[in-house]
Structure 1
């Protein structure tokens, strides 16, 4: 499944621990050269925190239609994350991503992902950390370790805005290779953020084959078994005010869903964020 989450970026989440936020969002996915036809996602992200604790939750409803007579796939996702800010430079987080499947003749109607991580950061300069994800499916398990880092180019801010670079490497181990073409994957995510005035531009790249990957800090789970090759996307966020933000985005990914080679997904995103 190709999903989308509009939760606050990990780059700025350290500064946004206090207060509350709501983010309703909608995504439409169109597929090229695939047995899948189109899909849609409707979701709501919410968070509340103080100087030491922050709780986040996200609820999504996902539907997927096929080009043949396959019944429409329907799925609910509910993610809960707790954050603990230790001192002024460390954040610890843990959470669960629940997957509820509602599909005709599907005997496995619940999967889950448990995750935890730690990050050391210097606000508005850099961060480094690692996350661990344990995905529990009906007949197999997936273990994923994701070291990550960010760096902010403050020396360029006056001329080009606030530029932040983010990188993640995903080491994925699948306990039963009968569900994928292999049982080990190494995949990397690279992201570029530039905030200048009311506009924030984000460009992202996903490189390396992967299957059953967990992404976006636990909010995105690729649980339908397709093997993804690569992906790239761009989104623009406009700050209507200090508390209101509007985002539009596009992402294109190449994947293999079995017999079809070179299938593509095109994801279009719209979201609105309100802070309190």
Structure 2
């Protein structure tokens, strides 16, 4: 009986922590965007990047702080806002994705470029949200998003934390994709998922997901570069290189551990 009460208390505590932290995660993303608008893109990225955070240049994952320190401050307004957000049961790892826009000089200028960003965040030792990987897609239609959808599928803690099982799922997915992409996504895609592709709004509904998967070239070759996992072992990510027709791009997958194993929560593929 005491063990049951303790488990119930632990689960309730995790739920409260997760719910509180997803609010702060969403606010961190909004603050990040606001800082970009009020200051500049370079200053915003340097402020919110984790020391080990990664951005992508010419298809290569590179240290974000080192990369942005080399860049010059340029004119233009890069703005964005979260559309979807999810956080681990431990409340230390989460992601957001949403539309971004670029205006050449001021916030009143016409939008000349738009897309969909995806960012994975973690709490640093001081309890501040810092992002560890950021990957966007381009040329999306106009998205009229006013509210953030908080994705809440599972709140479970798995012990011991098993990053190897996440990587095993990623490699199994890649193997299946190389043989039959439809079967790969059918096997590993969560029922609650977001797929981001160039020139398309995020796919979340069954018909949208089917179209997105159908249009994803079966010839893409994925190469794993790095991965990470939450303190509760229920949410993790993998990013790497996507090769298609001699073009080197990148991908980012967020995995969620569900009752039947690891499933894809968010899938961003550039090609």
- TM-score above 0.5: no
TM-score if structure 2 supplies the norm length? 0.28
- Compare the two structures and name the one with the higher helix fraction: 2
